[in-house]
Amino acid sequence: MDSLLNYRYSLVAGAFAAGGSFFGKLPSHLKAQKFLNLSDSFSDSSYLGTGLVQVLPLVLMVICNVSNLRCFLKALQMTEQTLTCVVLTAASNYILSFILGALVYQEPLTALSGVGITLIVAGLWFLCDGGEAAEAKKKDSNKEN
């Protein structure tokens, strides 16, 4: 668990990236769901609805993307290997985007996507472990000798 503490900014950057993608898709999803019954002709009362459905998600998307870059740069400064930071940020982005897509946008869950998420989580576990388990096993064997 200590290894995840070292990469917390990478995980947060991935979460912000997933949030940016989520808010980027939200206006088209709300329009397809006929949210607020907005029509193409604008009246005075529909400006508020247009602002809520189109402008607010755009602003939230920009905020998430700026926060993603800020956390990603902080993660690059804190980690010893930049490859670990990049992979962890991308993987957490994929996993959270998968979860948000399934829960909010009702995207289909397939066996292939389940296998993919499982492989990503297993890869993250090995990547973040950093060989600590192997070193602990090696120390135990040295103590026995």
Over the stretch 52-69, which tens digit does the pLDDT of each residue have?
778 889 999 999 999 999
Give the residue among 12, 20, 124 at the shortest CA–CA distance from 70.
Answer: 12
To the question of pTM greater than 0.95 for the whole model, the response is no
CA–CA gap between residue 119 and residue 99 (Å, rounded): 15
If one compares 47 and 37, the residue with the highest pLDDT of the two is 47
CA–CA gap between residue 89 and residue 75 (Å, rounded): 9
**Tens digit of each residue's pLDDT (9 = 90 or more) over 67-95:** 999 999 999 998 888 888 899 999 999 99
How many CB atoms within 10 Å of residue 43? 8
- Segments forming the whole domain that contains residue 42: 2-144
Give the residue among 24, 13, 22, 21 at the shortest CA–CA distance from 69.
Answer: 13
Work out how many domains the chain is built from and give that number. 1
